[in-house]
Amino acid sequence: MVTPISPPIAKDSKPSSSNYIAWDAEGVEVVQPGEADKIRAVSEQFQRFQKLNFDEHHHMFRGTHLKTQGCVKGTFKINEGLPEHLKQGMFETAGTHDVIMRYSSLTPKVLPDTAGAPRGLGMKIFGVKGPKIWGEDKETQDWTFNNYPLLELRTPQATNEIADSLERNWTDGDKFVEELKARKDADVACYAGGLAQEHMAAMDQYSQSAYRFGAYVAKFGVFPTGEEQIKLKSWSVKPTDAGNVLSTTLRDFHQSHKATYSFRVQLLQNLEEQPVDDIVWDAEKYPWVEVATLEFEPQDSWIHSFRNWWDDKITCNSWHGLVTHQPLGSTNRMRRVVYAESRMLRMKYNAVECVEPRGLNEVPA
């Protein structure tokens, strides 16, 4: 089992130095040889995965994070009094925004919750003004996270190889794991398989990849802060639990308790020690700093109309947001293509149109 990571947070909201790397500095983004061809191949692989799931379930799921564990609505509060180096992008002005958030499981197919797998969060924040990457503007900003900081699908090449193994062993999970363990980068490729199977409301969550942070570069993290959430850190899924144990325990929690999270950034200060692609940035040397908080009052996280709407009609993609928060690195360039084409296939097969809500009044919950 992977040892849980408890990231330190800078008490004075100041990183270890003032050498913040500009987002467009030389060396921040390095395009790999043959990258575009590999990205195209990966996109086609993920669409084939979607079609394999469609053949089994007669419904087209996402290409990744396809199993919803719950959906909630709340508030995203940008902290007052941030120092200048943290007043970047949407964090330039303190204030409160409405937000919706989806808990999910990152598996290539629908599996019971007792199957060890990474988990994630996707959030859509409303009322975020400014030029958007995709041009259209309903004043929303999307963020996505996984419950571990390591980027195992760190290049289009590695993703293509792992996806090829998965496709060849679609009905033989043991063989797929065997091939992952035989890779030269097995410690990275197999990392997610050893994650502790925690309660969804108690998980630390990471953007894994880097993003433009106004003038600078940062990774993002979401960390539980509620007392009842912290108590759940010792809870874990048992092999004998029901196949929907994560969604039912999450629902029980949200119906009875307020959930709170700290939204933090980790700034890029040294390209040699913090390359945009490939590794985890040292949280002791380059600590996480809080820039916002999230609050979710007690509510039902398993409202069918909300869940189905999120599953079938909306997208949550970090390329959908401010120009000042552009995703960076080869993995994010791959996600831009793969996620967009996965969405189009999902809409086509399910015969629905993608919608982008402008606020909570358009959320069916």
Spatial distance between the Cα atoms of 351 and 36, rounded to a whole number of angstroms = 30
Helix axes 173-181 and 156-168, enclosed angle (nearest 10):
140
Condensed to tens digits (0 to 9), the pLDDT of residues 21-70 reads: 999 999 999 998 899 999 999 999 999 999 999 999 999 999 989 999 99
73-82, 158-167, 170-179: which has the highest mean pLDDT?
Answer: 73-82
**In the structure encoding, which two tokens stand for residue 291, read together?**
């820039």
Helix extents (H) in 58-169: 156-168
Condensed to tens digits (0 to 9), the pLDDT of residues 106-157 reads: 988 899 999 988 999 999 999 999 999 987 778 999 999 999 998 888 789 9
pLDDT of 116 reads 87
- Would you say residue 3 has pLDDT above 70? no
- The 8-class DSSP code of residue 132 comes to B
- Would you say residue 5 has pLDDT above 70? no
Residue closest to 76 by CA, chosen among 125, 145, 120, 138: 125
pLDDT band at 13 (very low <50, low <70, confident <90, very high): very low
| Contact of 309 with 131, CB cutoff 8 Å | no
Residue closest to 89 by CA, chosen among 322, 262, 276, 293: 322
Spatial distance between the Cα atoms of 144 and 222, rounded to a whole number of angstroms = 10
Residue closest to 228 by CA, chosen among 261, 263, 264, 195: 261
| Contact of 176 with 227, CB cutoff 8 Å | no
pLDDT of 108 reads 87
pLDDT band at 193 (very low <50, low <70, confident <90, very high): confident
Condensed to tens digits (0 to 9), the pLDDT of residues 194-222 reads: 888 999 999 999 999 999 999 999 999 99
Residue closest to 321 by CA, chosen among 119, 105, 154, 91: 91
pLDDT of 240 reads 96
Condensed to tens digits (0 to 9), the pLDDT of residues 252-270 reads: 999 999 999 999 999 999 9
Spatial distance between the Cα atoms of 193 and 101, rounded to a whole number of angstroms = 24
Helix axes 330-350 and 156-168, enclosed angle (nearest 10):
40
Burial (CB < 10 A; 0-12, 13-18, 19+), residue 87, is middle
Q: What is residue 250's three-state secondary structure?
A: helix
Spatial distance between the Cα atoms of 93 and 240, rounded to a whole number of angstroms = 48
pTM (2 decimals)?
Answer: 0.93
Spatial distance between the Cα atoms of 239 and 228, rounded to a whole number of angstroms = 24
Count of beta carbons in the 10 Å neighbourhood of residue 125: 23
How confident is the prediction for the chain on average, in pLDDT?
92
- DSSP E strands: which ranges in the chain? 67-78, 95-105, 119-126, 140-146, 205-206, 211-213, 216-224, 259-267, 289-296
